[in-house]
Chains A and B, each alone.
Chain A
Amino acid sequence: MQPTPPSLAAEAATAPATVIADIAVGAAYVARSQSHALPHLVKPAARVGVRLPWTPRLELGGALVGVLDSSEHYRVLGVVAQARWAFWQRRSFEFGATAALGAGRDADILHADLRADSSVAPYAVFAIDARWTLAGRWLAGVEASATNFAIAQAGALLGFRFGGSR
């Protein structure tokens, strides 16, 4: 594991409370789809998250995750508590891994037989990201994630650090 650069650790320790809000928008590959047609395999997807830095590497918070589709069969929408660990850090760039657990709409498309069992389902989301810090407070990067091993998503990431010092 890469040691935390002293400057970042010190910065985090002395900084006033910071909130990181970010949004990831991209395309979701619907792994459970039995149809081979592209419109049934790929859907727009998004994640909106808010996290607090807990340590220089760890951020804790929550997020809304979802697949954006007009059909209720594909409508994945959940609320998850998430933890992001920055496993490789530089002053203005880092790789992170996120694990998130929560609950959401039990969409048909989350199931191998394309039939939802109930109205609410547990959600488990795993993600990796690469993000840059721009102009002190802005975050930009890319993120790939998997939801319930049924939805694989890749997209662009944009975030902002509220509070704290630059």
Chain B
Amino acid sequence: MTRKATAVAIALAACSEPLPDDVANYQTSCMKLNDAPIAPYDRDPHRGWKNVYACGVDDDRRPFADGTLIVKESTRAEAAPWLIATARKQHATWRWDEYTRNFADESFRRTLASQSTCTECHQRAKAADFIFTRRSTTPSPTPDAGAADDRGLDAGRADASAENDAGAADARPASPTSQVPPQERAALQRWLATGAYKMWHCEARVMDPRPNGAHGRNRVCSNEAVATHGDDRDPFPVGAASVKELYGSDDAAPTGYAVAVKVKPGDSGDDWYWSEGGLEGVGVSICVGCHAQAPRFGGRDFVYVLVR
């Protein structure tokens, strides 16, 4: 009886462990593997927008050495992560742990996630030493990037597609990268040319200029993060994006594009990457100045038009 009580007490104590000290500063002391945040997908075990960090290593060389710590953070509507998953390599074996919380101002606590559940899923990345996400280079979509997205394979985006492969063997979602436009002009232009955004939530036709509209006739496409973000009191999460096709007098083909991508958590215009014509960058003042008025015209968080 005493043994049972002790075992229960130990189990309860173990499942309430806070985040270990060596995990606390992962954002500054570890190497971030992915480039753009990894989008949520169907049956995502770490529901949310994810970033993955490797600690105690200088590069992404597989297999990882003993002592390597992999940290994955997942963020939902709120600005701060709600989940931190860790993988520690010791004696050539990974130990998996998950820490969660409900509110940004409370401590993470360890969950009762079993080793076998984690191992079973990560088995699919066995060839990559059980870690799906690889360090990404700057996304460089190829002309057939759309097709690559369909296959879930793209050498430059192995992080995202590998994550997808893990979670959606029977219901493949869109590649996360197809949900987040590149934030560099040339790469963005190539990405727009692939038409990947046309798989988003798009308006059915070209619309006449809207109130306070500065883009003439246009058609808006909202990515999943914008289209499915339900709470109108919260800012959009990192990765939220809109593409606006700009049209002249005829609707045959767009004459240009305006793109907005949320790149930092928060509710400021400086949290968005903006691109239109020769304007490009984070917090472009002319874009921010106008889009700040979006809530007055039925939009929110610097987005005028939300297509669902």
Contacts and interface: CB of A to CB of B under 8 A. Distances in A.
A68 to B, nearest CB: 16
A40 B230 contact: no
A114 B100 CA distance: 14
B14 to A, nearest CB: 10
B82 interface: yes
A35 interface: yes
B89 interface: no
B16 A114 contact: no
Contacts of B111: 35-37
Contacts of B113: 36
B12 to A, nearest CB: 7
A111 to B, nearest CB: 10
A148 interface: no
Contacts of B82: 34-35
A33 B102 contact: yes
A73 interface: yes
B102 A36 contact: no
Contacts of A77: none
B264 interface: no
Contacts of B15: 37-38
A73 B103 contact: yes
A14 to B, nearest CB: 49
Interface residues of A, number: 15
A129 interface: no
Interface in B57-103: 76-77, 82, 98-103
Q: Which of A40, A108, A113 has the most CB of B within 10 A?
A: A40
B231 interface: yes
Nearest to B106: A71
Interface string A89-114: 00000000000000000001100011
A36 B103 contact: no
B3 interface: no
A39 interface: yes
A38 B103 contact: no
**How many B residues touch the partner, as a band?**
20 to 34
A93 to B, nearest CB: 29
Q: Which of B76, B98, B101, B234 has the most CB of A within 10 A?
A: B101
A137 interface: no
Contacts of A40: 100-102, 106, 109
B84 to A, nearest CB: 11
Nearest to B48: A34
Interface in A21-39: 33-39
A27 B234 CA distance: 32
A71 to B, nearest CB: 6
Contacts of A114: 102-103
Contacts of A73: 102-103, 105-106
A38 B12 contact: yes
Nearest to B78: A114
A39 B16 contact: yes
B233 interface: yes
B231 A35 contact: no
A32 to B, nearest CB: 8
B110 interface: yes
Given A113-B77, A115-B233, A35 B112 contact: no
A98 B230 CA distance: 35
Given A40-B106, A71-B106, A73-B106, A35 B101 contact: yes
Interface of B: 12, 15-16, 76-77, 82, 98-103, 105-106, 108-113, 230-231, 233-234
6 contacts: A37-B16, A38-B15, A38-B16, A71-B106, A108-B103, A115-B231
Interface of A: 33-40, 71, 73, 108-109, 113-115
